[in-house]
Structure 1
Amino acid sequence: MDIKDKISSQREFFNSGKTLDIDYRIELLKSLRSGIIEMEEEISSALKRDLGKSSFESYMCEIGLVLSEINYMINHIKKFSKKERVKTPLAQFKSKSYKIKSPYGLVLIMSPWNYPFMLTISPLVDAISAGNICVVKPSAYSKYTSEIIKKLLENYLPKEVVTVALGGRDVNGYLLNIKFDYIFFTGSVNVGKLVMEKASKNLTPVTLELGGKSPCIVDENTDLNLAAKRIVFGKYLNLGQTCVVPDYVIVNEDIKGEFIKYLKDEIISQFGKDPIGNSDYGKIINEKHFARLKGLIKNEDIIIVGYCDDDKLKIEPTILDNITMESPCMKEEIFGPILPVMTFKDREDIIDIIKINPTPLALYIFTNDETLKNHILNNVSFGGGCVNDTIIHLATEQMGFGGVGTSGMGSYHGKSGFDTFTHEKSIVEKSNFIDLPMRYQPYTKKNEKLLRKFLK
């Protein structure tokens, strides 16, 4: 069956109203959860083949987060789906007002290769929870995980609810020329622009989860040892192939040398003296990205730590010194295990450095100075972030995760995810018991006075 026929069948199923049944949605989520648990070993194996991820990291950053999202939705979906009463203005007496939660319909979910399981299944969970049917397009770069995703979804969810489309750019282009009711895209800024352009032709709403150069600020008023530990964890997780990774560090110039020493010590502590030989240390996704990252290292003046293994597509955790805004590594999102270190003298230097680049997806600041913290958080535009830690802000269903400006639009996780895939119908239900005459012609001075009183 061709993709258009599958989509046509899906639309017929959606029009039947079956997904409006909350219990049916919960059944779907429970079936998906069972499938993930039963196929966990296969999923981990695929992630290992694509990105060299250990089973621990695969569960911590992908499988476990998806299961957490599913459990949260199962426990809250009935509450999220309820009709919501709101106050009615006196001018509309006698009536009641409420909002009805409605699914959009057919949703296209396009996911990237860096967290191929989590960034495909997590938005799918939110979309299903809201009552939508979906076409899922995982990345061609993470082909083993994409194949497992197809197997999982075809075995544990009805084909009328989810269709999986595998392939490269030709498939992406084909799908983007089909009219969907909503598009959820995670990936690069350039492809995000294309998605938005295609969506605009059908006036299709979109959520774009993009990226950018996320800064990490280190003030002298902090625990430098702990800061280095948490930055090394966040930066080199998945070899830096993370959309919210600390892209570069801006450290107070008085403590740069001390801080770099802590960074080097932490790299050894977390990955050993031979990270390339560490079986839990992953790999770069493909030769194209590997070559790009090698170029960024080659063009810098001083490499404090770093070694590349061409055969294994591995790059050791690397720190770059003597970096300026003109350095090649500051001209693009790094998306690899390379950490440039810059310095600042005062708080305005920090703002000036960050604002040279477009709005980042994340921002991290390590400080115990409340004034500095509030100054940065209030004066810099970014998607989300952490104070005195990295990465962890995206791992909670209690807050939405998303970007702003060039780092994206819209958010998901938990209720934010349910709301993203939900249209709220605003309804005023008027009583026939009484009808206020002042809105009708002919207009009179008396009715105008009444109107002004009501609408003040």
Structure 2
Amino acid sequence: MKDYKDNPYFKLFSAQKNNQYKIAQSTIKERKRKLNALQHAIEVTYREQIKKALYKDLKRPVVESDLVAVYLIIKEIKHAKSNMHRWLKKQKVKTDIVLFGTKSWVKYEPKGVCLIMSPWNYPINLTLSPLVAAIAAGNTVIIKPSEISSHCSELMATIVKDLFNEDEVALVQGDVETAQNLLKLPFNHIFFTGSIPVGKIVMKAVAKHLTSVTLELGGKSPVIIDNNVDIKLAAKTVAWLKHFNCGQTCIAPDYVFVQEKILNSFITHYKQYLNEFYGSDTSKSNSYGRIISSKNFNRLKSYLEDAKTHRAEFIVEGEINEEDLFIGPTVISNLKQESLLMNEEIFGPILPIKTYKEKEEVVVYLKDKDKPLALYVYSKSKSFTNYIIDNTRAGTTCINANGIQFSNHHLPFGGSNSSGIGKAHGFYSFKAFSNERAVLKRYASGPVTLLFPPYTNFKEKLARLTVKWF
């Protein structure tokens, strides 16, 4: 191995590298025992501390913390425990007749020493959910959570230290320099969740070692609303997900395309549900979070100032309080295409609205953009829905719903190109942390030996017959 002795994490990496085969040979029973311990820690031992840490970092409402940071991880663990035996057993495949005398199968083996790099917006879920799959697949893991959600990172460090030996699972805290040092090490797989710019940095760094990666990124996820639609349902669900976690969600609606005939109806119902969810004064609602940091607050504030410069129409202008890192729900229309809100991933409680006359306009617009992590379609028309889906590309799609595709662990979750590489959740996460090893076993003499040298006229004829008939 290249000399990495100057790297502050080389010793930890080496310990996990030396231990990887022991962990790889652990039984299903042993892996389930580890997952049971993690489940108990999240569901019982540290549950209240998790909610408190999320509140300190994001002012996350208790219900949202329970749903995302507790329920979804527990669901992931239960799903892995229920299916691990099936995932890990020999996956038999067909063998061609010309290979008569052999049998073939796929063995899912652990990739080895893995790195999980997680973001600040859902720090508990997006750290521990990939860890579930890494454990199920039999890997050793180093975790690097975001330094921005510091209270959650501190708590997860405690949980990991409580449950695992350092040569199996370890959590490293630190800033950008820490991440850079970790990326210099030759991991066998890196699972990164975060922004597109940082995803590109990760991709460039791992290219030196040809390390496989799963990149869960983001992008500008559109909502397309047909005029043949349950407008109340559309307004309610868009308003819910757009402001869940104060809009700091990778699959949140980034902007909405509304058929021009129903624009006023959508706006009316959207305002109605904002009031129903958060009351007349959102800043006093215990159901509404806050922006993670001053840096992100100022970024969003600059988007709003840019929109005003471009003379956009503020349909709902949310209150702004820098001291409290509070930005209220904001709805904007008549945005020029060159505005920041139409070109940057928003990641906040600001919803741009665009109108259209014909569905073809939407498709033309979307084809010129990067593939989003999510695309949402609201319509009672099957032909409209199919047209949008068949003529666009996206990592995930919901029809007449918002965001709940993330909670179905039977579905692959992930982006496409700039919105992500690779898939996650359930079996797809297990697969990301596994190498699909092809195995072929010969148990009897077969026809292949008839084609061994020396090559005679008979063997030439046999080769021609093989090409023609097999």
Give the structure-1-normalised TM-score: 0.97
Shift of 1:454: 3.8
- SS of the aligned residue for 2:314 comes to strand
Shift of 1:274: 0.7
Match of 2:208 among 195, 201, 218: 201
Counterparts of residues 87-236 of structure 1 (less than 5 Å)? 87-236=94-243
Deviation sequence 1:230-275 (CA, Å, 0-9, x none): 1001111101100000000000011111211111111101111111
**Which letter does structure 2 place at the counterpart of 1:194?**
I
Counterparts of residues 427-446 of structure 1 (less than 5 Å)? 427-434=439-446, 436-446=448-458
Partner of 1:77: 84
> Contact (CA 8 Å) 1:222, 1:367: kept in 2 or not?
yes
Deviation sequence 1:34-72 (CA, Å, 0-9, x none): 111210000110000001111111011222100100011
Percent identity between the aligned chains? 38
Structure 2 unaligned runs (5+)? 1-6
Whole-Å separation in 1 of the counterparts to 2:463 and 2:28: 42
- SS of the aligned residue for 1:213 comes to coil
| 1:419–1:452 distance in 2 versus 1, CA, 3 Å | farther
Whole-Å separation in 2 of the counterparts to 1:269 and 1:103: 48
**Which letter does structure 1 place at the counterpart of 2:125?**
M
Deviation sequence 1:312-359 (CA, Å, 0-9, x none): 101111100112322221010000000000011111110122233211
Whole-Å separation in 2 of the counterparts to 1:112 and 1:436: 53
**Which letter does structure 2 place at the counterpart of 1:205?**
S
Partner of 2:359: 347
Partner of 2:4: none
Partner of 1:30: 36
Whole-Å separation in 2 of the counterparts to 1:255 and 1:102: 53
Partner of 1:10: 16
Partner of 1:309: 321
**Which letter does structure 2 place at the counterpart of 1:28?**
K
Whole-Å separation in 2 of the counterparts to 1:74 and 1:452: 50
Deviates more, 1:231-240 or 1:324-333: 324-333
Partner of 1:359: 371
**Are 1:371 and 2:383 counterparts?**
yes
Partner of 2:250: 243
| 1:19–1:282 distance in 2 versus 1, CA, 3 Å | farther
- SS of the aligned residue for 2:207 comes to helix
> Contact (CA 8 Å) 1:364, 1:387: kept in 2 or not?
yes
| 1:386–1:436 distance in 2 versus 1, CA, 3 Å | closer
Whole-Å separation in 1 of the counterparts to 2:369 and 2:187: 33
Partner of 1:55: 62
> Contact (CA 8 Å) 1:54, 1:282: kept in 2 or not?
yes
> Contact (CA 8 Å) 2:23, 2:139: kept in 1 or not?
no
Match of 2:430 among 418, 432, 442: 418
- SS of the aligned residue for 1:405 comes to coil
> Contact (CA 8 Å) 2:9, 2:181: kept in 1 or not?
no
Shift of 1:18: 5.2
> Contact (CA 8 Å) 1:31, 1:157: kept in 2 or not?
no
Deviates more, 1:390-399 or 1:152-161: 152-161
- SS of the aligned residue for 2:141 comes to strand
Alpha-carbon RMSD: 1.4
**Are 1:397 and 2:403 counterparts?**
no
- SS of the aligned residue for 1:144 comes to helix
- SS of the aligned residue for 2:280 comes to coil
| 1:276–1:295 distance in 2 versus 1, CA, 3 Å | same
> Contact (CA 8 Å) 2:225, 2:377: kept in 1 or not?
yes
**Which letter does structure 2 place at the counterpart of 1:303?**
F
Shift of 1:187: 0.6
Shift of 1:447: 2.4
Deviation sequence 1:205-252 (CA, Å, 0-9, x none): 111111100000111100111110010011111011000000000000
- SS of the aligned residue for 1:406 comes to coil
Shift of 1:100: 1.1
Equivalent pairs, count: 456
> Contact (CA 8 Å) 2:99, 2:447: kept in 1 or not?
no
Give the structure-2-normalised TM-score: 0.94
**Which letter does structure 1 place at the counterpart of 2:231?**
L
Shift of 1:444: 2.7
**Are 1:386 and 2:398 counterparts?**
yes
| 1:388–1:435 distance in 2 versus 1, CA, 3 Å | closer
- SS of the aligned residue for 1:16 comes to helix
- SS of the aligned residue for 2:180 comes to helix
> Contact (CA 8 Å) 1:252, 1:345: kept in 2 or not?
yes
Shift of 1:433: 4.4
- SS of the aligned residue for 2:73 comes to helix
Whole-Å separation in 2 of the counterparts to 1:399 and 1:155: 32
Structure 1 unaligned runs (5+)? none
- SS of the aligned residue for 2:143 comes to strand
Counterparts of residues 268-283 of structure 1 (less than 5 Å)? 268-283=275-290
Whole-Å separation in 2 of the counterparts to 1:106 and 1:327: 43
Whole-Å separation in 2 of the counterparts to 1:310 and 1:76: 47
> Contact (CA 8 Å) 1:32, 1:157: kept in 2 or not?
no
Whole-Å separation in 1 of the counterparts to 2:205 and 2:286: 42
> Contact (CA 8 Å) 2:141, 2:169: kept in 1 or not?
yes
> Contact (CA 8 Å) 1:19, 1:25: kept in 2 or not?
no
Partner of 2:337: 325
**Which letter does structure 2 place at the counterpart of 1:62?**
A
Whole-Å separation in 2 of the counterparts to 1:98 and 1:119: 32
| 1:434–1:375 distance in 2 versus 1, CA, 3 Å | closer
